[in-house]
């Protein structure tokens, strides 16, 4: 018996990252469409954006399922098997998490809503 010392190729990781990005976009798109249809079918109230929040929640759930699935499918398609398949999934997910975490931090810190209001007296 030979020891399974197959390494995880960089090209497979890069394709997994690309599959994760595409899978996230497709998952969000399909999730928004599915959430909109479900909101109408379940008679979710459109008042104060309830139907929109419902659609976004469904989109996030679908994206959380589609993204890792697309990464696993891509790595499997590239010939990655066994434990290396899950090592690749973890590596790609950690990369995506770090990238999105940096974007969220920059959005929260950099573009805080600063509104300045000027009080004007009515003309007399």
Mean pLDDT computed over 101-121: 55
pTM value is 0.62
Give the tens place of pLDDT for each residue, 29-38. Answer: 999 999 999 9
| Distance in angstroms (rounded) separating the CA atoms of residues 72 and 66 | 10
Mention every residue, 6+ apart, whose C-beta is less than 8 A from residue 47: none
Give the H/E segment covering residue 102: helix 83-110
What is the Cα gyration radius of the chain? 22
pLDDT bucket at 119, cuts 50 / 70 / 90: low
Look over the chain and give the mean of its residue pLDDT values, rounded to a whole number.
77
The reported pLDDT for the residue numbered 4 is 44
The reported pLDDT for the residue numbered 120 is 66
Distances (CA, A) of 24 to 27, 50, 83, 122: 5, 23, 24, 51
Mean pLDDT computed over 70-82: 83
């Amino acid at each position: 018996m030979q020891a399974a010392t197959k390494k995880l190729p960089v090209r497979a990781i890069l394709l997994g990252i690309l599959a994760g990005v595409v899978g996230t976009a497709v998952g969000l798109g399909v999730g928004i469409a599915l959430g909109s249809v479900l909101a109408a079918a379940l008679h979710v109230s459109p008042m104060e954006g309830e139907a929109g929040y419902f659609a976004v929640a469904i989109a996030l759930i679908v994206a959380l399922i589609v993204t890792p699935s697309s990464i696993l499918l891509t790595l499997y398609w590239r010939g990655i098997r066994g434990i290396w398949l899950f090592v690749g999934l973890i590596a790609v997910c950690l990369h995506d998490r770090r990238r999105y975490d940096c974007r969220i931090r920059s959005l929260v810190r950099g573009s805080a809503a600063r509104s300045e209001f000027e009080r004007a007296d009515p003309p007399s």
